[in-house]
A and B are shown apart, each in its own frame.
Chain A
Amino acid sequence: MVPAGVPISEHPLTRYLRPGTMPSSFCPGCGCGMVLNALLRAVDHLKLDPKEMVMVTGIGCSSWIPSPMFKCDTLHTTHGRAVAFATGVKLMMPGKKVLIVAGDGDLAGIGGNHLVHAAHRNMDLGVIMVNNAIYGMTGGQCSPTTPAGMLSTTTPFGNLDPPMAVSELLASAGANFVARWTTYHVRQLSRSIEELLTGEGFRFLEIISQCPTHFGKDARKEPAEVLEQYRQSSVPFSKDKGTAEAPDEMAMTVGTIADRQGKGYVRRLEQAEARWRGPPVRVDKKEGKI
């Protein structure tokens, strides 16, 4: 714990940040700062070398967590395509830890196809989806995870659709690791991010996060009240039942939803390449045959 009054530059975790990126551009009370904190703690706890990491982000507030703040090779991509860009990075640099940070609109909305396919391939990527259930950067439009009935600037009479169960979808698609927590659960967040950064295959963490500026504009709550609500309405995921009994419609299941040991794409590819290529071929220069 850093005592009050100590300049931010002396915080022990600032060594992971690009100089000049603090204070962040997030709104007061935004969950993105808490996600950044959990990410830095996970990296620090694992003693990862940022030189061995690549962060890939999309478009949206949460993509600004590593881009520009985290000091490692960072690819800030087009809207929705972070997972596909990261696939290219990973295949060329299989030894690097490739982590994606983006929002619900980016990953599940415009980029949903890439997300499902990367999970299906069990591509060796870590993905943090900061789910604030709204398009924050563009000013509060409905997203695929906005609850039914919720007012937004594009659902002025209430959202007609139920929220998409993104984590459950990816667990079904074949992801090795899937977990969901909220910004209230800061210790669990760090531990889950460590899970993203250690195992193989597709590893996904959904973080339910507050957007005090745009989510629920018409019934605004203080960020601390939202965190308290997260605490009260979180229900631990139960393996026996497949999912928790939701006591009311605002409840959310939290915990590790899938934890499998499937072979990741890179390991399957490398084993296949060795098979395809076979032993080294002696070159007969006269014949010149393949």
Chain B
Amino acid sequence: MNVKAIRDSYLERCARRRIFDLGDVAVGWGAIFAGCDFFAGYPITPATEIAEFLARELPMAGGRFIQMEDELASMSAVIGAAWGGGKAMTATSGPGFSLMQENIGYAVMTETPCVVVDVQRSGPSTGQATKPAQGDMMQARWGTHGDHEMVALCPNSAQECFDLTIRAFDIARSLRMPVMLMLDGEIGHLRETFDLRSPPRMDLPVPPDPSAAQPFGGEPVPPLVKFGEARYLHVTGSTHKPDGTRDVTTPEVHDALVRRLCRKVEQSRAALKDVEKDIPVDARTVVLCYGAPSRPALAAVADARKQGLKVGLLRLKTVWPFPGDELASLPGSVRTVLVPEMNMGQLSREAERYTDMDVRCISKIGGVTHTRKEILAPILEVG
């Protein structure tokens, strides 16, 4: 029985089931439904449940799971598996995410499609190891060295964990790059109902046919190539020409490569944008949120409206690239943008780059999510 038959039979048995389980487990199911056939990881709270689920289910769905010796190795094996033709993923939390950064940069430079899940916990360092946070949002964007663009998605429910995992794989292959799925410990360990379904697909660019472009060329995305196709690929994290050969001294070669790597994300900005918004035309305040705090934020906005305040809600499901145009196009009546974050102000600072309005972070650290009152109070304060 070949691997495809095993997978098809497994998916047929599971499709349309309704599950009550953790956000982490929903990520695991999403991976299987996205066609993930390779997972390498290392245990870490609060992401371990993803590895545990896939250790059990991935072999049954025709894929392979391996527990590596550390997160450096996990990210390495994921990239190796992707070049071996796999749809590969790893999952970790802050300390492991830090260890993966060098190889995430390698995946950017070699244009390796893969998915990295970070179930964020409270740092720096070991911090509050079992407690949630959103402290890695800037690390997702800038954690690896050198100029690069990044794609990061941010679910706020178990259903979105499932849906956005599938989307992360789609984007990774469409743009031939690593995609970050940024949960927080609250969402990863939240237990709720989700459906194993076919989520709405994004209208993403299709990579060119391998006959139409060089393996590391193409404008802006190169073709999806892999080992074993008699192409004698030369894959390197060093600066390379469109055929893959190393050229680390010619300024124009580096310039053309790195600018194209950034351009492929920049050009897909509109396709990648995914926001949920409810902003009245006469809004005076907008709550910009993502992940766990978006849940109390939704309640706080409803409370404020009951009290007659003109408040809008803008929730980001795609965090990177940051949808700055949404801020630039807010109604002229808006005076304040409030950003509840489980950190000391990461996306609120990014928001400041796109608007002259008063942007305030509602910061919450300590391993707990905001209560609705903690978001309502600043809304009432700014009126």
Q: Which residues of A contact B (CB under 8 A)?
A: 18, 20, 50-51, 54, 56, 67-68, 71-78, 80-81, 84-93, 96, 113-114, 117, 269, 273, 276-277, 280-281, 283, 285, 288-290
Asked whether, in the complex, the Cβ of B81 is within 8 Å of the Cβ of A89, the reply is: yes
- Give the distance in Å from the alpha carbon of A92 to the alpha carbon of B226 in the complex: 11
Chain A residue numbers with a CB within 8 Å of B69 are 84, 113-114, 117
Quick check: B13 and A87 within 8 Å, CB to CB?
A: no
Q: Which of B69-95 contact A (CB under 8 A)?
A: 69-70, 72-74, 76-86, 88
Partner of B102, one of A18, A78, A117: A78
Q: Which residues of the partner chain B approach A91 to less than 8 Å between Cβ atoms?
A: 38, 64, 66, 77, 81, 84
Q: Is the CB of A89 within 8 A of B235?
A: no
B281 at the interface (CB under 8 A from A): no
Q: Tell me which residues across on chain A come within 8 A of B38, comparing CB atoms.
A: 88, 91-92
Give residues of chain B (97-111) contacting chain A, Cβ–Cβ below 8 Å: 102-103, 106
Candidates B16, B88, B228, B233; contact of A93 at CB < 8 Å: B228
Interchain CB contact (< 8 A) of B6 among A76, A90, A117, A277: A277
Knowing A76-B234, A78-B237 are in contact, say whether A87-B83 is a contact too (CB < 8 A): no
Set of chain B residues within 8 Å of A86, measured between Cβ atoms: 80
Residues of B within 8 A of A50 (CB): 232
Do B85 and A92 have beta carbons less than 8 Å apart?
yes
Q: How far is the CB of B327 from chain A (nearest CB, A)?
A: 37
Q: CB-nearest residue of chain B relative to A74? A: B234
Closest chain-A Cβ to B176's Cβ sits at a distance in Å of: 16
B245 proximal to A (CB < 8 A): yes
State the CA gap A273–B228 with chains docked (Å). 23
Task: Check B73 against A84 for contact (C-beta < 8 Å).
Answer: yes
Contact B17 A67 (CB under 8 A): no
Chain B residues, CB < 8 A from A289: 13
| B77 adjacent to A88 (CB under 8 Å) | yes
What's the nearest-Cβ distance from chain A to residue B87, in Å?
10
Which 7 pairs show the lowest CB-CB distances between chains A and B? A88-B80, A92-B84, A88-B77, A84-B76, A88-B81, A84-B73, A85-B80
Residues of A within 8 A of B279 (CB): none
Q: Once the chains bind, are A113 and B70 in contact (CB under 8 Å)?
A: yes
CB-defined contacts of A88 to chain B, threshold 8 Å: 38, 40, 76-84, 86, 88
Assuming A84-B73, A85-B76, A277-B6, is B238 touching A76 (CB within 8 A)? Answer: yes
Please determine whether B13 and A288 come into contact, CB atoms closer than 8 angstroms. Answer: yes
Q: Report the minimal beta-carbon distance from B324 to chain A, rounded to whole angstroms.
A: 32
Are B237's CB and A76's CB within 8 A? Answer: yes
Contact, CB under 8 Å: A87 / B73: yes
A135 to B285, CA, bound (A): 59
Q: Which residues of chain B come closer than 8 Å to A80, judged between CB atoms?
A: 72
- Contact across chains for A281 and B237 when beta carbons are under 8 A apart: no
Q: Which residue of B lies closest to A20 (CB)?
A: B245
Q: Mark B45-86 against chain A: 1 for CB-CB distance below 8 A, else 0.
A: 000000000000001100010101110111011111111111
Chain B nearest CB from A120 CB (Å) reads 9
**Assuming the A-B contacts A75-B80, A88-B84, are A68 and B245 also in contact, with contact meaning beta carbons closer than 8 angstroms in the complex?**
yes
Q: How far is the CB of A117 from chain B (nearest CB, A)?
A: 4
Residues of B within 8 A of A113 (CB): 69-70, 73
Q: Is the CB of B80 within 8 A of A78?
A: no
Cα distance A56–B238 in the bound complex, in angstroms: 14
B72 to A71, Cβ gap below 8 A? Answer: no
Bound-complex Cα distance A285 to B12 (A): 8
Q: In angstroms, how far is the closest chain B Cβ from the Cβ of A268?
A: 12
Shortest Cβ distance from A72 into B: residue: B232
* Cβ contacts A to B, 28 pairs, < 8 Å: A54-B228, A56-B80, A68-B234, A73-B233, A73-B235, A74-B233, A75-B80, A76-B236, A76-B238, A78-B102, A78-B106, A81-B103, A84-B77, A85-B80, A87-B66, A87-B68, A88-B38, A88-B84, A90-B84, A91-B38, A92-B38, A92-B81, A93-B85, A114-B72, A277-B6, A280-B1, A281-B9, A288-B13
Complex CA gap A280/B13 in Å reads 12
Interface flag for B231 (CB, 8 Å)? yes
A76 vs B72: C-alpha distance when bound (angstroms): 16
Q: Which residues of A contact B102 (CB under 8 A)?
A: 78
Partner of A89, one of B10, B83, B238: B83
- Max count, chain B CB within 10 A of own CB: residue among A78, A86, A113, A281: A78
B295 shortest CB reach to chain A, Å: 30
Chain A residues, Cβ within 8 Å of B106: 77-78
A96 to chain B, nearest CB (A): 7
Q: Which chain A residue lies CB-closest to B85?
A: A92
Q: How far is the CB of B381 from chain A (nearest CB, A)?
A: 49
- CB contact between B227 and one of A20, A54, A78 (< 8 Å): that residue: A54
Residues from chain B with Cβ under 8 Å of A269 in the complex = 64
Which chain A residue has the least Cβ–Cβ distance from B17? A288
A75 touches B73 (CB 8 A): no
